[in-house]
Structure 1
Amino acid sequence: MERTAALATVGWEESAGEGSVREKLPEAESPRERLFRLGAAALTDPELLSVLMGSGVRTQALAEALLATRGGLKELLQQDPRELCARPGMGPGRTAQVMAALELGRRAQRVTERRPRLRTPKEISAYLAPNLSALRREVFHVLCFNARNVLLHDARVAEGTINACPVDPREVFAAAITSRASAIVLAHNHPSGDPEPSGQDLGLTAQLIEAGRVLGIKVLDHVVIGDGTYSSLLERGELPLLGGETRGPWSMAGERG
């Protein structure tokens, strides 16, 4: 009895019937327990996903399998819910939980100001990336500004496919005129993740700059959103110019009235 008690105090126990001893291993700490002890930031992506979907070794293995592809969380966010639902171990309930959580995380990155002041291509990219960078198709936005670079309206004027997005100039300037904007920034995403502007991007930009000149609405820039990066036609020196026009900094609308 005394020997058994002593062994128990150091984490060992005697095997029944053989008189031998074996180590009593501590139970593995679950991701949920680690979350409460260390905080959510300490968990890996698969661990966070397994906490969301439920407890158990099989759930952790499923979470690891879902994130095993090179795209990780971003690719998971881009999946069609019906395709995800069809995967072994998933189903409508788990799929809805996962997609809703990923969307909440994406929305949490949004600018909270209703009318932010955006003065550089980098600020434009930071504002748009949470909405555009994870999309599976191209979309085209028109950001409408007053003379102080305050965003009056962010209008999605076109949606396309994975590599094309037809844009109607009338829709672009309808958004600007409705919001009484003095300047606009054009923006769209490249689902491939590469923000390099195409020849079509440059041609469309030139067309819209000319239309804006006729209407008295300045096109400040065209920003292309990629995967964690962006391209600004103004920064690259590729924003088309009209008859002797010169380009200043992005915030050229400045304080002019």
Structure 2
Amino acid sequence: MERRTVGGAVGSEGSAGEGSVRETPEGEDARERLFRLGAEALTDPELLGLLWGASARMRALAAELLAPAGGLKALVQQDPRALCARPGMGQVRTAQVLAALELGRRAQRVAERRPRLRTPREIFTYLTPHLGALRREVFHVLCFNARNVLLLDARVAEGTINACMVDPREVFAAAITARATAIVLAHNHPSGDPEPSGQDLSLTAQLLEAGRMLGIKVLDHVVVGNGTYVSMMERGDLPRLGGEERGPWRMAGERG
């Protein structure tokens, strides 16, 4: 996997550019509206421009940055070096943008260290801040006890933009370490389309079989896309792949 670091020219933030940030801005009303109405009242370019000083020039730079990127979601998935190379950017402004987006992503995370997750929708909501904006595929194992409490969320594999090699030993090592009675498999599709691939289905079947041998139930495999997800259990893929009949989706320990 290629590891990317922030790079690019620093000169785009020289004295001339910084001086213009301190001009009396016609965009000052954006800051005033933020305090009066809340940050949600501002547009994406206004919020982004506020990171750089609230001037009209910075707001225009933010709009130019967002338009070709396809919005904030696409912006966070861009390579930092590509952002640095954009006119008016550079390392400092790129770092400010990516840091702000990461803070927003972290703010969405579930506050509880050991939440109870009982449905695919709850699992998707939990996973989105972790997986929703990544530029590469990653594979998580969510380990549960008999009361549906999340004991461990382990990232067991990282791949490329369209592939991720998963070792079943790593999957069940996490479950055994957590002393889990059941697990939910989860991974993301950076393309935004959560439709499981043939390889996804094949891997799931392999892990179902391994789970049966170890006495660890595989409850679901959730594929996270852009604002949506696919639950293999909900769709009926998991029972078919596992060669067993199952009723409605249930977490470990649920009755009925």
Q: TM-score range by the shorter chain?
A: 0.7 to 0.9
Equivalent residue number for residue 72 of structure 1: 71
- TM-score between both structures, scaled by the size of structure 1: 0.85
Q: CA deviation at 1:248?
A: 2.9
Equivalent residue number for residue 171 of structure 1: 170
Q: CA deviation at 1:39?
A: 2.0
| Cα contact 2:27–2:59 (8 A) shared by 1 | no
Q: CA deviation at 1:255?
A: 4.7
Higher relative contact order (CA 8 A, sep 6+): 2
- TM-score between both structures, scaled by the size of structure 2: 0.85
Query: Matched residue of 1:246: which SS?
Result: coil
Equivalent residue number for residue 198 of structure 2: 199
CA distance 1:52–1:217, shift in 2 (3 Å):
same
Equivalent residue number for residue 248 of structure 2: 249
1:20-67 per-residue CA deviation (whole Å, 9 max, x = no partner) reads xxxxxxx67532122223221111000000111113221111000111
Q: 1:151-230, aligned counterparts within 5 Å?
A: 151-230=150-229
CA distance 1:28–1:212, shift in 2 (3 Å):
closer
Equivalent residue number for residue 6 of structure 2: none
Query: Matched residue of 1:100: which SS?
Result: helix
Q: Which has the larger displacement, 177-186 or 48-57?
A: 48-57
Aligned partners of 1:103, 1:161: CA distance in 2, in Å?
20
Query: Matched residue of 2:238: which SS?
Result: coil
Aligned partners of 2:29, 2:42: CA distance in 1, in Å?
11
Aligned partners of 2:131, 2:93: CA distance in 1, in Å?
25
| Cα contact 1:148–1:254 (8 A) shared by 2 | yes
| Cα contact 1:53–1:98 (8 A) shared by 2 | no
- Greater Cα radius of gyration, structure 1 or 2: 1
Corresponding pairs, count = 230
Amino acid at match of 1:69: P
| Cα contact 2:45–2:66 (8 A) shared by 1 | yes
Equivalent residue number for residue 110 of structure 1: 109
| Cα contact 2:186–2:222 (8 A) shared by 1 | yes
Query: Which structure shows the higher helix fraction?
Result: 2
Q: CA deviation at 1:125?
A: 0.3
**Percent sequence identity over aligned pairs:** 80
Aligned partners of 1:168, 1:122: CA distance in 2, in Å?
26
| Cα contact 1:144–1:176 (8 A) shared by 2 | yes
Aligned partners of 2:241, 2:197: CA distance in 1, in Å?
20
Aligned partners of 1:29, 1:163: CA distance in 2, in Å?
43
Equivalent residue number for residue 36 of structure 1: 35
Aligned partners of 2:243, 2:156: CA distance in 1, in Å?
30
Amino acid at match of 1:179: A
| Unpaired segments ≥5 residues, structure 2 | 1-25
Query: Matched residue of 1:239: which SS?
Result: helix
Aligned partners of 1:190, 1:28: CA distance in 2, in Å?
38
| Cα contact 1:40–1:48 (8 A) shared by 2 | yes
| Cα contact 2:109–2:129 (8 A) shared by 1 | yes
Query: Matched residue of 2:166: which SS?
Result: coil
Equivalent residue number for residue 120 of structure 1: 119
Query: Matched residue of 1:88: which SS?
Result: coil
CA distance 1:102–1:243, shift in 2 (3 Å):
closer
Q: CA deviation at 1:204?
A: 0.5
Amino acid at match of 1:31: A
Q: CA deviation at 1:252?
A: 4.1
